[in-house]
Structure 1
């Protein structure tokens, strides 16, 4: 059958053979008695019809009708197209016909066929035009399509896909390798039973109802794929799933990490090509290929995959033996993608997140360079990279930025900031988190380590309208992160009024950031300069994201964050080295209800980090234990 999956724009150039001594009849049509003119005309029409026949969804009928045996030639032409998997073809008549008598002429055809997923195959065949009664026809021979085909021989295409290259960590250690997988599916039609589809839902998290609908709508005899899993996982499921009616499997290989959750949202996933992923994979990919679907596997698909090679052989129709190799294209191996990830730190992040019962993310970066060391999204495997793409109110972690803004306005670490139970700003009442009792007058450092909202908001009059926006920019917040995979750099809009300004000072209102960006805030304090994040060196922009922070501001913030661990809201991290940190609790509205997200940001040595727990009661209670677990796993 003719394949119909390729979607290609076809263009062709037909060179009309000119015969200076040919004459037309009185009606302007070629004179059938002028063999050169008549032969050239039918060859030209045949070439155009051949091009149309091998176009996507093309039919061989028009080309076959120009031959002396339409029934046999049409199928022959279509079979060769299907065997080659040609996506486009150019057929160009060469020179003038060579006529041996008044009823037989030959003319060469230059053929270029683009073999989907391999390359362009070129050859020259010979079209023989014969006069049948008063009409000229193309002799229905396989040699017209390819020399040597004759009546029985055939062409055989073999495509060779090179092994996919690995994604590497910062030390060159492979984070992905080619591993055996099993594609699990069902037979089309009504072969599978209700119990079969229920098992897909229960054991493989596949929507059984949707799979059943696909199976019933598919043509008879087809394999309807449902999910691709690791071979080891299928061995575990085989005793129960393998015996169910209609279950079918196919083996294969995929580029996989050490576990289904390991850095999944960053490294990405593989899958059988879809319309979108096939387009991203480039012209040498095939609809049957396993290609990158998400993450770095998708972003660097063509580099990792390399280019396939292939051969086309002419084979004997009776013995099936190869007569000769008529086309050969060498493939090129893919090139690894080296990242800044550290495998050991990534393992530590995965293990720490596994302890959470709520959706959580952890990001660790090298403060001195901005290079990303670990990215985890848990506690279960997910393709959604909330660590990079999540848009969250940063809550009290943003008091790092607020402190910098106030320090830049002339205040000092010892400036007095009164901590009251509530504070009213133009009719809007703000309060502290439930565990904090008002303590009255205190320094900025005390307000920081106790995370007193009202103390910071009391100073909103000291800042200009764009004060928080400018302070955030010093930490790189609000810029496009421009990473190899999507990432959100946060936003601190100029407040529309003083209420919005007050909310921004405690990381609420219109202020948003991703966990990655919050980790970079911690890194800016550690280094003294905000750095651009880097995941793939040489691909991602590197270097400072802003001018260095004022030295006095850096010194104060470092003192604040260290004191917060030794005697403030981040004391859960005490005993894990010289850790500096800030907790945060952010209120958000979900489904009409106010819930809180728990945050923690900080650094130790040259490693800065941030954790968010969706629905966490507070930063100390929800994010703190995860971060403590992470810190105990590396020096």
Structure 2
């Protein structure tokens, strides 16, 4: 039975053999009375039809019709195709036909078949053309397909998949290893019951209705895979789900981290190949393979998987014993991918996020290098990497950038700014977060560590229209991060008017950034220069993302971020060592309602961090405890 494959078949290279001492009929057609020309034409037509037969969705009918026994040869040709799992073939007639008389000629065929998931197998067979009445036919022999097949022998293929290489942490310790898994599915047709599909939905987070439609649409006797889970997880479900009608399982291995949640959105997931992931996996992959579907497992699928090997043996049709090995290709192991992740810090980040009752993300980077040390999303694992890809208004954490812009105009951290309850900018009223009471005049440092919106907005007239955009770029915001996996570097468009500029100064309006981007802002203050983030050394661009920040600006920002912990809105971190931070509360519209997201950005030692809590009441109250928990786990 022919298998479907979304791979373009190679064209046949067909050479029409002619005779040096003969001429064709008028119009270029072969002379039916010239055995060499006529047999060569028959062989060429057969070769062309063979190529079509082994193409995706191909059928052997046309090739079979060109033989002297089409009813037996068609299934024979198709069975060899199925045995080899050929995705395409090239069949090239070689040289001139050799004729023993005017009714029997032979011609060699050079065959190259691409065996799906293994490689290219080459051989030479011989086509015998015989004249039957006025027509030339190809003798229907197994040897025409492969020498030695005869009438009963057959070819058997074995594929060998090498162990998948590991994803490593920054010290070379494996983050993933090959672990036992169970592929859980159902029998095709109507074997499974409604209770079976309901159990898949309830216990395995599989869309039971969609699975039912897939199973119903296939002929009986097929395995319809639904999900791949760890063997230990299946053990817990075996006595309930496993005994339901129609449930089928297959064992296997997959390259997995220490738990199903560990660094899931960065490392990624493994599943049985789909059309999309099979395309990403390359020509050596098979539809039955476990391949990367997200994260680094997807990005480095071909490197991690290596190259499968395989063999083909010619076997005796009666004894089933191998006559000889006719093809062999050695498997090549995959190559590990080393990351910058710190295993312990990743565990600490996930443990801290697990304490949140709201969706939250944490990113930690090495301030001196930009290397990602940890990236987590909680309180439960998700395939969507909010920590890298989230588009969030950064709120008051963006005052780090705003302060740098104002410092660039000649202001200092001691410049006096008015903190009023509200401020009106061309008809738009801005206010402070609810917990802050206006205190009148105070230094920029106080406005920073108390997070007074109105104090900063009062200075919007000092900034040229593009100053916020240019200053944000000094912290790396707005750049294409070019990481190995998708990541958002933020955006600070030039404001269209004074109102938009005022909003951007407090991280609202059109300003957006990811937690990763904001962690790099904290790192830039600590390091003095914004750096490009790195997750896979040697693959991700490294080095400065902008020119060094002015030393006076760096000194002022460090002082203001430290005072935010010692006497400001990040006081929850006062007992967490020498920490410098900035809190933020950003208003966003969700389902028609205005809610707030809580932020905290900062650094301790060489570790810079950013935390966001979706729906958090404020940065200090929502993000602060997560950061405190995280920092308490290491020195």
Distance 1:119 1:420, change over 3 A: same
User: Following the alignment from structure 1 to structure 2, what is the Cα–Cα distance between the partners of residues 128 and 511?
Assistant: 75
User: Following the alignment from structure 2 to structure 1, what is the Cα–Cα distance between the partners of residues 411 and 452?
Assistant: 17
Give yes or no for contact 2:477–2:489 (8 Å, CA) kept in 1.
yes
User: Following the alignment from structure 1 to structure 2, what is the Cα–Cα distance between the partners of residues 440 and 251?
Assistant: 69
User: Following the alignment from structure 1 to structure 2, what is the Cα–Cα distance between the partners of residues 156 and 200?
Assistant: 36
1:10 is matched with 10
2:594 is matched with 594
Give yes or no for contact 2:11–2:51 (8 Å, CA) kept in 1.
no
User: Is 1:264 the equivalent of 2:264?
Assistant: yes
Structure-1-length-normalised TM-score: 0.98
Of residues 353-362 and 34-43 in structure 1, the stretch that sits farther from structure 2 once superposed is 34-43
1:57 is matched with 57
User: Following the alignment from structure 1 to structure 2, what is the Cα–Cα distance between the partners of residues 140 and 215?
Assistant: 38
User: Is 1:484 the equivalent of 2:484?
Assistant: yes
User: Is 1:390 the equivalent of 2:390?
Assistant: yes
2:205 is matched with 205
SS at match of 2:210: helix
Distance 1:26 1:567, change over 3 A: closer
User: Following the alignment from structure 2 to structure 1, what is the Cα–Cα distance between the partners of residues 346 and 217?
Assistant: 43
User: Following the alignment from structure 2 to structure 1, what is the Cα–Cα distance between the partners of residues 618 and 29?
Assistant: 88
Of residues 125-134 and 298-307 in structure 1, the stretch that sits farther from structure 2 once superposed is 125-134
Q: For residues 539-558 of structure 1, what are the structure 2 equivalents within 5 Å?
A: 539-558=539-558
User: Following the alignment from structure 1 to structure 2, what is the Cα–Cα distance between the partners of residues 219 and 128?
Assistant: 38
Give yes or no for contact 2:9–2:89 (8 Å, CA) kept in 1.
no
User: Following the alignment from structure 1 to structure 2, what is the Cα–Cα distance between the partners of residues 361 and 336?
Assistant: 27
Tell me the CA shift for residue 65 of structure 1. 1.3
SS at match of 1:583: strand
1:194 is matched with 194
Of residues 519-528 and 463-472 in structure 1, the stretch that sits farther from structure 2 once superposed is 463-472
Q: For residues 38-49 of structure 1, what are the structure 2 equivalents within 5 Å?
A: 38-49=38-49
Q: For residues 88-103 of structure 1, what are the structure 2 equivalents within 5 Å?
A: 88-103=88-103
Tell me the CA shift for residue 298 of structure 1. 0.7
Q: Residues 523-568 of structure 1: CA distance to partner in whole angstroms, max 9, x if unpaired? A: 0000111011000001111111111111111111111111111111
Q: Residues 1-36 of structure 1: CA distance to partner in whole angstroms, max 9, x if unpaired? A: 111224314322111111122355689754444322
Of residues 415-424 and 46-55 in structure 1, the stretch that sits farther from structure 2 once superposed is 46-55
Distance 1:588 1:27, change over 3 A: closer
1:413 is matched with 413
User: Following the alignment from structure 1 to structure 2, what is the Cα–Cα distance between the partners of residues 28 and 401?
Assistant: 79
Distance 1:616 1:15, change over 3 A: same
Structure-2-length-normalised TM-score: 0.98
Distance 1:485 1:29, change over 3 A: closer
Q: For residues 54-203 of structure 1, what are the structure 2 equivalents within 5 Å?
A: 54-203=54-203
Structure 1, unaligned stretches of length 5 or more? none
User: Is 1:536 the equivalent of 2:536?
Assistant: yes
Give yes or no for contact 2:5–2:87 (8 Å, CA) kept in 1.
no
Of residues 131-140 and 443-452 in structure 1, the stretch that sits farther from structure 2 once superposed is 131-140
SS at match of 2:442: coil
Distance 1:17 1:567, change over 3 A: same
Question: Which stretches of structure 1, 4 residues or more, deviate above 4 A after TM superposition?
Answer: 23-29
Give yes or no for contact 2:168–2:176 (8 Å, CA) kept in 1.
yes
Distance 1:140 1:434, change over 3 A: same
1:469 is matched with 469
Distance 1:97 1:559, change over 3 A: same
Give yes or no for contact 1:597–1:613 (8 Å, CA) kept in 2.
yes
SS at match of 1:403: helix
Q: Residues 150-207 of structure 1: CA distance to partner in whole angstroms, max 9, x if unpaired? A: 0000011111111100000000000011111111112222222222222222211222
Tell me the CA shift for residue 72 of structure 1. 0.8
SS at match of 2:598: strand
Of residues 89-98 and 31-40 in structure 1, the stretch that sits farther from structure 2 once superposed is 31-40
Structure 2, unaligned stretches of length 5 or more? none
Q: Residues 330-379 of structure 1: CA distance to partner in whole angstroms, max 9, x if unpaired? A: 12110000000000000000101111111100000000000000000111
- Count of matched residue pairs: 635
SS at match of 1:108: strand
SS at match of 1:239: coil
1:447 is matched with 447
Give yes or no for contact 1:170–1:340 (8 Å, CA) kept in 2.
yes
SS at match of 2:324: strand
Distance 1:563 1:68, change over 3 A: same
Distance 1:412 1:492, change over 3 A: same
CA RMSD of aligned residues (A): 1.3
Q: Residues 100-120 of structure 1: CA distance to partner in whole angstroms, max 9, x if unpaired? A: 223222111111111111111
Q: Residues 556-587 of structure 1: CA distance to partner in whole angstroms, max 9, x if unpaired? A: 11111111111110011111110111100000
